[in-house]
Structure 1
Amino acid sequence: MITGIFETHLNVTDLERSHHFYETVLGLPHAYGQKERGNSFYWIGGKGNAMLGLWQKEPSEVQRQHFAFHVSLEDMKHAVAHLENKGIKTQNFLNDDIGELYVFGWMPAVSVYFNDPDGHLLEFIAMLPDEAKPELGMVPWSQWEEMQEKTV
């Protein structure tokens, strides 16, 4: 019955600052907003596909959350540079500062993490076309690619 997640909501401390981040920095199209109610909505993946809602709240009402945006594998190849060119600090899953993204072998998928202005942990994630290898756990993307070349 369930075929996806249509919308998710985040509480933010400054709606205008968050509006700038999600629309201007990340490029999400603005769908609707009610300043008097302290909300703003953004399309994800095109109009009518999925939606992110932001609600302005007092700082005590903002708990840090995590969610991931699906991106294409081609876009993932440039995601770190894209985000860092916009002044957004990125990290891999282990936050180990090696400057390389990791693959979750059980999926398999590669991802990069970053924070929004309120400290919500956001992620860009791309599924890989390869066979899952859960026994590998997490491996650097370059190592994953080398293993894939050897099995071809």
Structure 2
Amino acid sequence: MIKGIFETHINVSNYQNSAAFYDKLLNIIPLFEDSTRKSKFYWVGKPGESMLGIRENYPSPLIQRQHFAFKVNLDDISSARDYLSDLGIETTNFLGESSENLLVFPFMPAVSIYFKDPDGHSIEFLAMLKDPPKPELDIMTLQEWEELHGRG
């Protein structure tokens, strides 16, 4: 029955700084801002599909770093990496290395890049691959995955 995550909320140290960050991400659509509660909400992708909420110092000023992933298409990974770089946002692969070297998680299979928001929350752009999962394999480069499937 479960189709995906509809709503994610994160605690931020300064909702205006975080809003300025999230306002720049592609397909993050501002939905509602409540300055009294120091919070802002966004549609992710199309309105009504999924939502991200940010809220300053809730329930406390302690920020617990969190991780979440946005689903993207494989063709969009490189352009997303370039877009984030143009914004001055560093991207890495799963191992913390340059995101130029894309890695595949064979158990899914999927490819992703990682970056951080102003509070250090770990954000991932993840693209599912159309190949069948290979959980017996370790993480490998996209080039190795493609060669394994006769496309390299």
Stretch moving more, 90-99 or 69-78: 90-99
Alpha-carbon distance between aligned partners in 1 of 2:151 and 2:76, rounded to the nearest angstrom: 24
Q: Which residue number corresponds to residue 101 of structure 1?
A: 102
Q: Which residue number corresponds to residue 129 of structure 2?
A: 128
Distance 1:46 1:97, change over 3 A: closer
Higher helix share: 1
Q: Percent same amino acid at aligned positions?
A: 46
Q: Which blocks of at least 5 consecutive residues in structure 1 are unaligned?
A: none
Give 1:107 shift.
0.5
Root-mean-square deviation (CA, aligned residues, Å) is 1.9
Alpha-carbon distance between aligned partners in 2 of 1:79 and 1:107, rounded to the nearest angstrom: 21
Q: Report the secondary structure of 2:149's partner residue.
A: helix
Aligned runs of 1:32-71 on 2, under 5 Å? Answer: 32-57=32-57, 60-71=61-72
Alpha-carbon distance between aligned partners in 2 of 1:149 and 1:105, rounded to the nearest angstrom: 16
Alpha-carbon distance between aligned partners in 2 of 1:65 and 1:107, rounded to the nearest angstrom: 21
Question: Which residue identity does 2:43 align to in structure 1?
Answer: W
Question: Which residue identity does 1:101 align to in structure 2?
Answer: L
Contact 1:25 1:86 in 2 (8 A): no
Alpha-carbon distance between aligned partners in 2 of 1:13 and 1:71, rounded to the nearest angstrom: 27
Q: Report the secondary structure of 1:4's partner residue.
A: coil
* 1:86 correspondence with 2:114: no
Contact 1:109 1:126 in 2 (8 A): yes
Q: Which blocks of at least 5 consecutive residues in structure 2 are unaligned?
A: none
Q: Report the secondary structure of 2:24's partner residue.
A: helix
Question: Which residue identity does 1:38 align to in structure 2?
Answer: K
In the superposition, the TM-score normalised over structure 2's length comes to 0.91
Give 1:27 shift.
4.8
Alpha-carbon distance between aligned partners in 2 of 1:52 and 1:115, rounded to the nearest angstrom: 15
